[in-house]
Structure 1
């Protein structure tokens, strides 16, 4: 009886592990929204004459992930353009308003943990990859020509999938993106801005 119980328990555990693993060849698509929250100190321009503050923004996002091995996926994050107001402040407290839009596509390699021991079948995951951010439609209140160069940097990703159907989940996640852009005013280099945001999101994820 003990042997039979052991065999049954082992078989059950194997079935559970197989059930919770995401097999190679699986696709997932996610639709949701993410908020880009830049760090509080975004640097200075004109040799320290202007401090820089970049505000937050929330936009709809899409993700697609292909599993190249069991529980190991390659994910691409895409979004509609994020809009950011930028405040430039001099030593006397005078402010100049600027703004920009950007797209931050991010490609990550991710590992999804089997969740047989997690409550509610929650499936956590971690990832690391590369972010490419391109800026456009830059504006500055002085009417000068403002330009922000594109940025390439590392990105980290953590999150959990909470299933509510066999192939459907609710996702909560957070990313850190290394985003630094060189700034030009009327074609002249005036410094760089460190945005380095945390990106928080929720999404509906469908598995195929």
Structure 2
């Protein structure tokens, strides 16, 4: 009888663990991990003093600490805020010559819909949202400054964002996450080249953001 009682207790424990609710209305979750911003850029050519220089721009990727917070307004829908430490990107001419560097923060608010039942450990979701990218600390390389380039400035950007991702529930509080996000970031650049003004009228950065993180449910 004692052996039978132990067996029943173990089975009951296993059944209970399989029915942990992933998320429900009113839950607040936080995720922290590594985020990589990989631009899929397309730019117009660089103009100086009205003359086409015959070169466009290329923008490098960067990896930083990624953070996001989400609040569930139903068992399957949450509102998420994406944050991160600042991303810095090398900017080069299309011929490979380094031009300088820009830094940005891409706060994004998204609404996500979870596809599986809240009782499932695997929780895939899809979302759409809005992004406002702050671009600052634009600077030319020392070589370009010595050549007479200065006053680099890029406009901030407002655009759409979309993502797919999945949480995997480990226990009542902890889970892991993987997500891929696309952000519409469009800007333009102006600068001084000696006595002339220069510009790049169209810079479509449109990065894909990859993030792997650990999450906690409050």
Q: 2:212 aligns with which of 193, 202, 206?
A: 202
- 2:80/2:109 contact within 8 Å kept: yes
| Distance in 2 separating the partners of 1:127 and 1:193 | 25
| Distance in 2 separating the partners of 1:22 and 1:94 | 48
Alpha-carbon distance, 1:33 to partner: 1.2
Gaps of 5+ in 1: 1-14
Aligned counterpart, 2:3 = none
Aligned counterpart, 1:67 = 72
Measured on the aligned residues, the alpha-carbon RMSD in Å equals 2.5
Aligned counterpart, 1:7 = none
| Distance in 2 separating the partners of 1:183 and 1:175 | 25
| Distance in 2 separating the partners of 1:146 and 1:40 | 18
Aligned counterpart, 1:11 = none
Question: In structure 2, the residue corresponding to 1:185 is in which secondary structure?
Answer: strand
Residues 1-208 of structure 1 aligned to structure 2 (within 5 Å):
19-20=20-21, 22-39=23-40, 41-46=42-47, 47=52, 49-89=54-94, 93=95, 95-115=97-117, 121-141=121-141, 142-143=144-145, 144-186=150-192, 189-208=199-218
TM-score, normalised to structure 2, is 0.78
Alpha-carbon distance, 1:149 to partner: 0.4
Q: Which moved more, 1:47-56 or 1:68-77?
A: 47-56
Gaps of 5+ in 2: 1-15
Alpha-carbon distance, 1:25 to partner: 1.0
Question: In structure 2, the residue corresponding to 1:165 is in which secondary structure?
Answer: coil
| Distance in 1 separating the partners of 2:110 and 2:101 | 28
How many residue pairs get matched? 189
Question: In structure 1, the residue corresponding to 2:73 is in which secondary structure?
Answer: strand
Q: Which moved more, 1:184-193 or 1:125-134?
A: 184-193
Q: Which moved more, 1:33-42 or 1:191-200?
A: 33-42
Cα gap change, 1:116 to 1:106, in 2 (>3 Å)? closer
- 1:115/1:124 contact within 8 Å kept: no
Alpha-carbon distance, 1:190 to partner: 3.4
Alpha-carbon distance, 1:165 to partner: 1.5
Computing the radius of gyration from Cα coordinates, the structure with the larger value is 2
- 1:55/1:86 contact within 8 Å kept: yes
